[in-house]
Amino acid sequence: MLATRLPAGRWRTQSNMKPVNKALKQQYLETPRRMGVFQIRNLANEKVFVAKSFDLPGSLNRHRFQLLHGSHASAALQTDWNAQGADAFAFEILDELTPRDATQEELREDLDFMEACWLDQLQPFDERGYNERPMSHEARLQMIMRRNAAA
């Protein structure tokens, strides 16, 4: 059961929430998430970081939070953010996936394809961006074989 802490050690559980709160929570849970591909663009040098998400607003907030607190996974992006400040960056949605009746796996495949198209078009690698260059199929297989041999 979902519970939230109230002052003085009291707890509010789903069973004693006001009906309006329950309705709002249910509405939130039933609202389809915006899915798609986004970029974080450095306005000074036009370098970009491209990623996909099943929850675009949530991912944009997470990346912004990580950058603000110095914990972003991309060290190069974090370094530029620290040096240039938040005003030097734009958070932009590149493409959205229209919600439809599909399995999670089908949606993941669609998002993977959409992201691959944007990565191919923008080439946000090396001096053009903050993404790591994807490994080739052969390189991935070699890495897995080395890991298995070491185990």
Q: Rounded to a whole number, what is the distance in angstroms from the first to the last CA of the chain? A: 41
Annotated domain spans of the chain? 1-31, 35-133
Instruction: Give tens-digit pLDDT for 78-112.
Output: 999 999 999 999 999 999 998 778 888 999 999 99
Give the homologous superfamily in CATH for domain 35-133.
GIY-YIG endonuclease (3.40.1440.10)
What is the tens place of the pLDDT at every residue in 27-76?
A: 766 677 899 999 999 999 999 999 999 999 999 999 999 999 999 999 99
pLDDT tens figures, 105-119: 999 999 999 999 999
95 token code pair: 């493409």
